[in-house]
Structure 1
Amino acid sequence: MADVLDMTLDELRAALAARLPEEAAFEGWTDAALDAAALALGVPPERARLAFADGAGQMIDAWFADVDRQMAAALPPETLAAMRIRDRITALVWTRITLVEPHREALRRALAVLALPQNVLLGTRLGWRAADVMWRLAGDTATGFAHYTKRLTLSAVYGATVLAFLDDESEEQADTRAFLDRRIDDVMKFEKFKAQLKPDPDRHFNVARFLGRLRYPTH
């Protein structure tokens, strides 16, 4: 307990992040969930509230950062290096899904919080961060236009896959996996298409229309 009590606020946020979704599934992303997580770790609730003074959004941010850490640990560089690029991205997205699968209700509640008008920018930032982490783990070194379009497309793919997962009642999320495979196919087609473009890609391709297709596919 002494070690827990001696943690900095950053260390405490990281420690609580792993426990918070268990409580948020029942209490929502509230002070009640934070208090329960703190007591489970032997931390005074008032100190936990100090660590998450900005409320629900900060708690969700910390949980998603913890998912990033777990994903990176589950797929170390030597594992990813043996895969094709599309298989790396697929593995990274699917690992994120499997990590949040035990906390489906907490995730559902988190997305509801992020959908509130005051949290839209935070939700966008967290989606971008997830995509950036996945591309970096996959070994991406793109700059300029390619850097941004890769992250935009992957954040759309991941967001759409999460929504499919939340409604998936198939065995072992088979429907979600099939959905993900189709969306990754779209991303790879996009990357191939970009490679064939002339220097002025915006004249030939509408990014917004493509992202809309990823989020709301016709099949």
Structure 2
Amino acid sequence: MTDSRDLLIDAALTHVPFEGMNARALAAGARDAGIAPAMVPVLVPDGGAGLAAAYHRRGDARLAAWMEGANSSGRFRDRIAEAVWQRIRMADRELVRAGAATLALPQNSALAARLVWETADVIWTGLGDPSRDVNWYSKRATLAAVIGSSVLYWLGDDSADQKATREFIDRRIDGVMGFEKVKARLRNLPGAETLTGIATGWIRAPEPRDLPGRTKEKT
């Protein structure tokens, strides 16, 4: 079943630039791969959104493999920025653009958010994130926002070798790091912890079952 699914996805993706990330691309892919039309919803149950998710998760798998062999030295913020950059470089812009159009539909918004969260989780896990408390969630939520805005910037970037996108990522990471430094300084001021909690109170620790990835139990 897995082999047939991969075969269908491979074939369907070749049609996406012409058909879009949708059922038409899946149907055309099924014809190319010799897969019965009735099997398409079995192999990819969510149609175009399922195809977009499959393509996205393939990229995450490649990123996870890349991070296993990546240089673990250097500044932490540089390693984060490089991981975001590598994830973008691993994607095909036309396929991402088509996938974004499909995932932007209201019925797919939850899936779209989950996919970006999964990418953030791959990066933090690959960096050996040791957090076990609310920071486990807030780190991924913050990085997910960086990834989402960076991808949107990249989709419209016409600079040579997408140099402007890399610079954009660096600026976004610097902005996040600066915010974290401000929060750290505030915690040292009398009464500031409560104010900091109010300012960042939109970040809550949901149940692990509600979000992709999971915290690891302490051993």
TMscore range, shorter length: 0.7 to 0.9
The partner residue of 2:106 within 96, 117, 120 is: 117
Whether the 8 Å CA contact 1:34–1:48 is kept in 2: the answer is yes
The partner residue of 1:139 within 104, 110, 128 is: 128
Partner of 1:53: 45
Partner of 2:73: 82
The partner residue of 2:17 within 22, 25, 41 is: 25
Q: Distance in 1 between matches of 2:20 and 2:59?
A: 18
The partner residue of 2:88 within 92, 97, 118 is: 97
Whether the 8 Å CA contact 1:114–1:123 is kept in 2: the answer is yes
Q: Distance in 1 between matches of 2:131 and 2:7?
A: 33
Q: CA deviation at 1:190?
A: 2.5
> SS of 2:16's equivalent?
helix
Q: CA deviation at 1:166?
A: 0.7
> SS of 2:15's equivalent?
helix
Q: CA deviation at 1:96?
A: 1.2
Runs of 5+ in structure 2 lacking a partner?
188-192, 204-219
**Pair 193,58 (structure 1): closer, same or farther in 2 beyond 3 Å:** same
Partner of 2:29: 37
Whether the 8 Å CA contact 2:26–2:48 is kept in 1: the answer is no
> SS of 1:44's equivalent?
coil
**Pair 91,178 (structure 1): closer, same or farther in 2 beyond 3 Å:** same
Runs of 5+ in structure 1 lacking a partner?
1-7, 209-219
Q: Distance in 1 between matches of 2:168 and 2:10?
A: 28
Letter in 2 for 1:25: P
Letter in 1 for 2:90: L
- Deviation string 1:131-183 (CA, Å, 9 cap, x unpaired) is 11111111112122211221111111111111111111111001111111100
- Cα RMSD of the aligned pairs, angstroms, is 2.3
Partner of 2:58: 66
Letter in 2 for 1:73: A
Deviates more, 1:19-28 or 1:116-125: 19-28
TM-score by length of 1: 0.79
Whether the 8 Å CA contact 1:20–1:63 is kept in 2: the answer is no
Deviates more, 1:141-150 or 1:120-129: 141-150
TM-score by length of 2: 0.79
Q: CA deviation at 1:196?
A: 3.3
Deviates more, 1:82-91 or 1:125-134: 82-91
Number of residue pairs the alignment of both structures matches: 196
Q: CA deviation at 1:20?
A: 4.0
